[in-house]
Amino acid sequence: MKNVACKISDAEWQVMKVFWSESPSTATQVIESLKQDTQWSPKTIHTLIARLVKKEALGVNKDSNLFQYYPLVSKEDCIREETKSFLHKVYDGSLHLLLANFVQDESLSAREIEDLRKLLDERIK
């Protein structure tokens, strides 16, 4: 997979989720998958797929009668990029502020607190 900046819209993110779970896929398969969760027309989904190809988030195999699309970027890379973008946009890049806000405002279970503690302890090592 390419290691490119994954700057995609919320709608494009929904389309990518389909490709990350099943690929290669045709546009028809993606339309079928998304029609349960969205009110988008097939034309809208085709437009989103075309944008993702232009952004090089999706590749296309044109060898058969039906174009088959596949992800060029991994879900993990996109999550990482979205997290960095959110962190900089909302918290001016401060991970400390994000975590402090999250811990203070959320109702965390004892299990979740322990999991966070383990992650931090592993990070220290």
Q: What is the pLDDT of residues 56-114, one digit of tens each?
A: 999 999 887 889 999 999 999 999 989 998 999 999 999 889 888 888 877 888 898 89
- Boundary of a domain, candidates 72, 96, 114: 72
User: pLDDT category, 4, cuts 50, 70, 90?
Assistant: low
- Same structural domain, 27 and 66: yes
Q: How far apart are CA 69 and CA 45, in angstroms?
A: 13
What domain range includes position 109? 76-124
- Same structural domain, 24 and 55: yes
Residue 4 within any structural domain of the chain: no
Residue 120 within any structural domain of the chain: yes
User: What is the CATH classification number for the domain harbouring 28?
Assistant: 1.10.10.10
Token output for 97: 């502020």
Residue 112 within any structural domain of the chain: yes
Q: How far apart are CA 112 and CA 106, in angstroms?
A: 11
- Same structural domain, 52 and 18: yes
pLDDT above 60 for 34: yes
Residue 1 within any structural domain of the chain: no
User: pLDDT category, 5, cuts 50, 70, 90?
Assistant: low
- Same structural domain, 106 and 52: no
Q: How far apart are CA 96 and CA 112, in angstroms?
A: 18
Residues in the chain: 125
- Same structural domain, 82 and 65: no
Residue 116 within any structural domain of the chain: yes
